[in-house]
Structure 1
Amino acid sequence: MKKIILAVAGTVLLVVAAVVYTVSARPHTADAVPAAQLTLAPGQLLYRDVSTGRIAAAPLANPGAKPQVSGLKCDRFAVAARTAVCLAVRPGTLPALTDVIVLDDHLNVRHTETLPGTPSRARVSPDGKLVYWTLFVTGDSYAATGFSTRAGIYEVATGTLVKTVEELAVFVDGSRYTASDVNYWGLTFAPDGNRFYATLGSRGKTYLIEGDYAHYRGKALRENVECPSLSPDGSRVAFKKKISDGVWRLSVLDLATLRETELAETRSVDDQALWQDDHTVLYGLDNAVWAVPADGSGPPRRLAAGASSPAVTG
């Protein structure tokens, strides 16, 4: 799908038709990321230190302990198995460019892609074989709000890059959905590395999409689901439900029954939640990382102050 990209400077409007960007698959230069000096080990809570932008780690059993802080600066961070991903916007670029940095369990750089947009969401599949992200981009001609999203996937073993999943064959109410304003965000994969979930936004609505990566197709399960996060047992998704403009309620959806449970966090949460385990959901809010029971039974508790973009190691 070709898109028209608009660049606006002051009152001057420049229209460039059919612009196609090419991203080279290249290793990251050695001096682009400082030495991480941090090894991923089981039982860690990792997060972005908001004062420095660096990735920090503390024991999950004592998350308020003084963290070990790495030299790695990210705007978004995620980890699973022996793979991590760091989204880092390049300063001073206009339009914005983001480095999608794939790392090993010592936070050494394995691969980098540089893509248009600013960081929004980042995840790694449970087996560590897929890295996926969402970036905000500006200028799509159909975007009445002035921005849209690009959700992409990188296959760690093969080096295959899917710059956008917008070509996914998706079905809504049994019919192929082909609207021109389709956007995807908030991908989350099952342990099998094939079944995945994402938000589809179009014509003022959002849908939870269940996807089949091998056959590259998906179907809508229900409306008003954003930023899904699949539980470790694959049976539920945590998500943010829109209550009103700019206000979301954190909830959990049972995939077998489509029964929804609102969590005890009553503040608006604009984040892709993360499952610590099958019983607890983590998220970033007000410059802190919080935890809340996934069954709605208990209030939230703060795990780490001055923190965002939580990740956990199994």
Structure 2
Amino acid sequence: MSTAARVRILVAAIAALTAVAVAYTLHAAGRTDARDKARPGGPAVVKGTFDLTGRQRILFRNMAWGPQRDHLASVPLDGTGGARTTMPLTCYKFHAAGGTGVCVQARRGPVNTFSVLILDSRLRELRRYAAGGGPSRTRVSPSGRMVAWTVFVSGDSYAGVNFSTRTAIVDTRTWTLHRNMEEFRVIKDGRPYRSVDVNFWGVTFADDDLFYATMATKGKTYLVRGNVSTRTVRTLKENAECPSVSPDGTRVAFKHRVKGDRSALPWRLHVLDLRTMKETATAETRPLDDQVGWLDDRTLMYAIPAEYESDQYRVPADGTGSPALLMKAAQVPAVLR
């Protein structure tokens, strides 16, 4: 074959590949445009302003398709099914309490990077930290002083075994940063414990010192109680993940891994009475993967996979009643009490 013929074939091949690339780009753009448009029948979304000084409201990540998807949103506690107000602030993970907020933001690129923003009561940035991994859980103590966040160092799900996490805690009064809870002293079954495979995640604060969290080691998970001041945690119970302490501090809700369940979400929602150590299964029997919240001292709220990625449901914490839809297309809600 002559050199000229080879050149013609090469040019034709490049042209064909270019046409395919352009067609795919236009197709992807079309899908993105369609995704960004509000979907008929979805939650009503309006632009507005709000902050952390209000009461009797829920703030959350809006998951409804449209220009405000992923924006921070707000609804009144007595109007969770109505129109939601959104602000330009985008948060992949969010929590707030006591006039302090924590927002994990994503910077998209060939490799996504995440930043942890500490916000004041007006949702203005106070400090920013590199997340160092994919975001998982965030929590603020009731007073707003302490903030915790967990990231995946490897893996992106708690369902398997091939993951590693790192949990940090910061004091917003002194800005003392505990970069890795794995440096805390562990008391397991009453004895000092050390292992290179220890992981922590899902911190929930009872106050500015006392907290609960998940510890994993040797293929098992434990509910642990810890103190920031002494940098110490103690195991309380096996098979408990992503705890959430009640507003009155007497109970902890958590995910209980169901033996023999090989599904992607092998957990059921339970509540532990910290005074009696009695465990109660809730009326929610669907599998879930969430660090649940408390609407009040009697009611839990949590995410269930749905059309918009997840909807929020509520259920009594004492095992009675039945699950009920709280709001559609919402994630990581925080109640302003």
Give, in whole Å, the separation in 1 of the partners of 2:294 and 2:110. Answer: 34
The 8 Å contact of residues 37 and 71 in structure 1, kept in 2 or not, is answered as no
Partner residue of 1:69?
86
Matched, 1:207 2:226: no
**C-alpha separation between the residues in 2 aligned to 1:129 and 1:81?**
8
Q: Which residue in 1 is equivalent to 2:266?
A: 247
Amino acid across the alignment from 2:205: F
One-letter code of the match for 1:279?
Answer: R
1:231 maps to amino acid: S
Summarize the alignment of residues 181-220 of structure 1 with structure 2, pairs less than 5 Å apart: 181-191=197-207, 193-220=208-235
| Paired residue type of 2:104 | L
1:306 equivalent in alignment to 2:319? no
CA distance in 2, matches of 1:107, 1:300: 32
CA contact (8 A) 1:232 1:278 kept: yes
Answer 1 or 2: which has greater helix percent. 2
Q: 1:43 aligns with which of 51, 56, 60?
A: 56
User: 1:256 & 1:182 partners in 2: Cα distance?
Assistant: 27
TM-score by length of 2: 0.78
Which stretches of structure 1, 4 residues or more, deviate above 2 A after TM superposition? 35-38, 144-147
Query: After superposition, what is the alpha-carbon deviation per residue over 1:81-105, rounded to whole angstroms, capped at 9, x for unaligned?
Result: 10011112321263x5321111112
Structural mapping, 1:94-133, within 5 Å: 94=111, 96-133=112-149
Q: Structure 1 36/58 Cα, relative in aligned 2: closer, same or farther at 3 Å? A: closer
SS at match of 2:247: coil
CA distance in 1, matches of 2:108, 2:48: 20
Q: Secondary structure at the match of 2:49?
A: coil
Does the CA-based 8 Å contact 2:161-2:219 persist in structure 1? no
Q: Determine if the alignment matches structure 1 residue 137 to structure 2 residue 153.
A: yes
Once residues 122 and 308 of structure 1 are traced to their aligned partners in structure 2, the CA distance between those partners, rounded to angstroms, is 12
Give CA deviations for 1:13-35 in whole Å, capped at 9, x if unaligned.
xxxxxxxxxxxxxxxxxxxxxx9
- Does structure 1 conserve the Cα–Cα contact (< 8 Å) formed by 2:49 and 2:85? no
Q: Distance between the aligned counterparts of 2:50 and 2:241, measured in 1?
A: 32
| Larger proportion of strand | 1
Residue 36 of structure 1: how far off its partner (Å)? 8.6
Give the SS at the match of 1:166.
Answer: helix
Contact 1:36-1:106 within 8 A present in 2 as well: no
CA offset at residue 146 of structure 1?
3.7
Query: Could you say which residue in structure 2 is the equivalent of 1:225?
Result: 240
Letter in 2 for 1:42: R
Secondary structure, aligned partner of 1:299: coil
**Hey, what does 1:281 align to over in structure 2?**
300
Mind listing any 5+ residue stretches in structure 2 that lack a counterpart?
1-46
Mapping of residues 5-44 of structure 1, within 5 Å: 37-40=49-52, 41-44=54-57
Letter in 2 for 1:124: V
Deviation at 1:178, TM superposition (A): 0.5
Structure of higher CA gyration radius: 2
Deviations 1:157-197 (A, max 9, x none): 11121111111111111111101100000001113x11111
2:70 equivalent to 1:57: no
**Given the alignment, which residue of 157, 163, 184 partners 1:168?**
184
1:202–1:169 CA distance, 2 compared to 1 (3 A): same
Q: Does 1:158 align with 2:159?
A: no
Instruction: Name the CA shift for 1:114/1:93 in 2 (closer, same or farther; >3 Å).
Output: farther
Count of paired positions: 274
Q: Which moved more, 1:83-92 or 1:36-45?
A: 36-45
Alignment deviations for residues 22-73 of structure 1 (CA, whole Å, 9 cap, x no partner): xxxxxxxxxxxxx993223101011111131111000001111101111111
